[in-house]
Amino acid sequence: MPPLTDLRQKIRALFDHPALSWLKGENARRDVCGLLIVLMACMTYLHNLNDPNKAFWDEVYYVTATERYQEGVASYASHPPLGLMLIAAGEAIAGKNDKIDTHPLALTKKTQKETPLPDGYNFYGARLMSALFGVMGAFVFYMIMLTLWNRAMTAFAFSLIYVFENAYIVHFRAAMLDSFQYVFVMAAVWVFLQLFLKRIEKPAQRLGMWYAAFGTLIGLAVMVKVNVVVFAALGGFLILRDAYDHRAELKAYIPRALKASVLMAATFVTVIAAVFTLHVLINPNNPPPESAAGNFDRQHMPQSYQDYLAGERPLTPQIVWDATRGYYSFMNNDFTHIVKTEPNASHPILWPLMSKAITYRWDSSKGITSYVQMIGNVAQWLTAFVALWVALVMIMRRLSGTSRYLKGPEFSRDMNLLMAFMAMYAVFMGAHMYLGTKRVMYIHHYIPALSLSYFILALVVKIGFQRFKVAVKWQAASIAAMLAVFLISFAFYSPLTFHKRLTLKQCEMRNVPLKVVNCHVPKAKKPPTPAVS
C-alpha cells in the first residue's frame, strides 16, 4: 500500500474513536479549524507587544493622537478618526502608562528629539487593539477561504497564509491603523461573497440587510483610511452581475437594483456621520494655548466649533457638521502638501514583487542589530505573483473560448469568483497608481490587495485540480508541501519581523532571492588616543 494512502486510512481510523467521532461532521470541523486559526494567530500577532519599546514609522504620530483622546482634547489627524479612537481604547483598557506623565505628548503632532516619549512608556496598550484586530483578521480570512473551498481542512490550510504573513504581523501588532481597516474591508469582501454566490435565502428583507451590512463595513473601513473606498466597487459588481442575470426582465429588476444601491449608500453615509459625531462627543475639551498641535488644528476649525469647545455654544448637529468640515479641511491640506517622493517611496506596479521594503527601526549593539522590517513572507508573495498571471491567462482563455474546459458548468462558480477578484485587484491597483501621481506611496498600502492575491491563489489552485483531475489524489500533499515552504520562509524572515538580533552575516543571508533589508554595518571602533607623555 502506498505510504500516502496508508496515512489517510490511519487518519480516518483515528476519527472512528468515540472521543473524536464527532469531528467527522463538517460543521464540527469548521468550528475546530476556525478556533485553531484564531489560537495560532494569537501566538504570532500578540507576541511581546512592547518590543521594540520605541515608536516606529507612523506610531510617532499615533501615540500623540492617543494621548489627546485620553485627555478628551479636540484634534484633527491625517486619517479619519475611527482607527485612532480604537488605538486610544486599547491604551485606556491596558492602563500601562497611568503612573507616568504622558501629558506632553498631547501638545505635539509627533514624538521627536524635542518631544520624546516619557521614561518608562509602555507600548502594550497602544498596540493592543491593533493586535487584537490582527487576530480577528485571521478569522475573517478563514471565513473567506471557507467560502471559496467549502471544505474546513483545506480552508484551514490556506488560512495559515495569513497567520504566517510577515508583512501583516509587522503592521498589525503595531500602533497603526491597518489592522482595523483590514478587518472591516475583508468582512465586506465576505459579505460580497455571500451575495455574489446567492447564499442568502429570501425574503427580500433579509437580502436588504446584507446589502446594508456591506455598506456599513465599507463605511467603517473608510473611517480608518480613505483609500479602501475603492472596495465599494464590489457593490457595483453585485448590481451589474444581477442585472446581467435578469437581462430578460431588466425593467422589473431596476427598482430592486436601486433599492440595493440606496441601502449601501445610506448605511455608508450613516457610519461616517456616526463616527464623526462620536469623535466630537468624546473630545469636548479645548486644546490648551501652549499646544502646538492644538494651534495647528485651530487653523482648520470653524469658529462655531471653537465656540463650542470654549463652552460658548451648545452641541448641535450643526456643530458636528462644522467640526467634520474642519476635519476634512485638515486632511485635504495634508494630502495637498504631502511629498510625492522620498527614499522609502515605492511604485504600486512593483508592490507584488515587494519593491522598496522599509526598515521601520533598527537597534545595534556590539555588532549585532535588531530590525523591525516591513517585509512580507517572500515565498508567499512570489507564489501569489505567479498566481496573478496564471489567473489572467485562465480568464483570457475562458473569455476567448480557447479552453472548452474552463467554460464548463463545473468551473462556472469558481471562474466567476476569479474574474470578480481579479477585477477588484485591477481597480485597487489602478486607483493607487493614480494616487501615486498625487502623493508618496509606500508598500504597506498594498496590504488589502495582497489578500486579494491570496484569494486568487486559492482559486487558481482549486480550479487547477478540478481541471486536471488526474492530479486530485496529490492535492493534499501538494498543498502541504506549499505550506511547508511558506512556513520555512516565515521562520527565515521572522527575526526582521519580531525585532530579533542578527549579525551582519545573518542579515545579509535574508537578501536572497530578493533584497529585503539594508543591513546595518557596525561602525568600526576608534583606536584609543595615545597618552600624552
Percentage above 90 pLDDT, the chain: 52
- What confidence tier does 179 reach under pLDDT thresholds 50, 70, 90? very high
Kindly state whether residue 132 falls inside one of the protein's structural domains. Answer: yes
Number of H helices, E strands in the chain: 19, 3
Least confident of 13-17, 48-52, 124-128, 271-275: 13-17
Residue range 104-120: average pLDDT? 84
Q: Which residues contact 231 (CB under 8 A, 6 or more apart)?
A: 185, 188, 189, 218, 221, 424, 428, 448
pLDDT value at 23 more than 70? no
Which residue did the predictor score with more confidence, 111 or 276? 276
Q: What is the mean pLDDT of residues 477-498?
A: 93
CA–CA separation, 413 vs 407, rounded Å? 11
Q: Which pLDDT tens digit goes with each residue over 144-167?
A: 999 999 888 999 999 999 999 999
Looking at the domain assignment, is residue 139 inside a domain? yes
Q: At what angle do helices 250-281 and 233-245 cross, to 10 degrees?
A: 160
Q: Give alpha helix (H) positions in 246-316.
A: 250-281, 292-298, 303-309
Name the helix (H) or strand (E) containing 154: helix 152-163
Domain boundary among 175, 192, 209: 175
Residue 18 confidence (pLDDT): 58
- Name the nearest CA neighbour of 213 among 184, 176, 238, 252: 184
Better-scored residue on pLDDT, 533 or 79: 79
Residue 369 CA to residue 265 CA, distance in Å, equals 50
- Residue 111: pLDDT over 70: yes
Task: Tell me: pLDDT of 357 over 60.
Answer: yes
Cα 390–chain centre separation: 25
Q: What's the mean per-residue pLDDT of the chain?
A: 87
**Bridge partners of 121?**
none
User: 109 in a domain, yes or no?
Assistant: no
Residue 142 included in any domain: yes
Query: Rounded to 5 degrees, what are φ and ψ at 63?
Result: -70, -30
According to the model, what pLDDT value does residue 224 have?
95
- The residue ranking higher by pLDDT, 340 or 310, is 310
Mean pLDDT of 433-461: 91
Higher confidence at residue 353 or residue 470?
353
pLDDT (average), residues 328-343: 76
The confidence score (pLDDT) of residue 29 equals: 85
Contact criterion met (CB below 8 Å) for 157 and 33: no
Report the amino acid identity of residue 448. P
Peptide bond preceding 528 in cis form (omega within 30 of 0): no
Q: Quick: pLDDT tens for 491-507.
A: 999 999 999 999 889 99
Q: Is the peptide bond preceding residue 288 cis, with omega within 30 degrees of 0?
A: no
Report the SS3 class of residue 365.
Answer: strand
Number of domains within the chain: 2
pLDDT exceeds cutoff 60 at 173: yes
Query: pLDDT tens for residues 64-86?
Result: 999 999 999 999 998 999 999 99
Cβ–Cβ < 8 Å for 444, 178: yes
Residue 260 domain-assigned (yes or no): no
CA 331, 80, 230, 458 torsion-angle sign: positive
Domain presence at residue 258:
no
Average pLDDT over residues 511-528: 72
Percentage of the chain beyond pLDDT 70 is 88
Domain presence at residue 418: yes
Give residue-wise pLDDT tens across range 397-428: 888 877 666 666 667 888 889 999 999 999 99
For 40, the domain range is 26-103+121-175
Chosen domain end from 175, 202, 237: 175
Tell me the C-alpha distance between 466 and 410, whole Å: 8
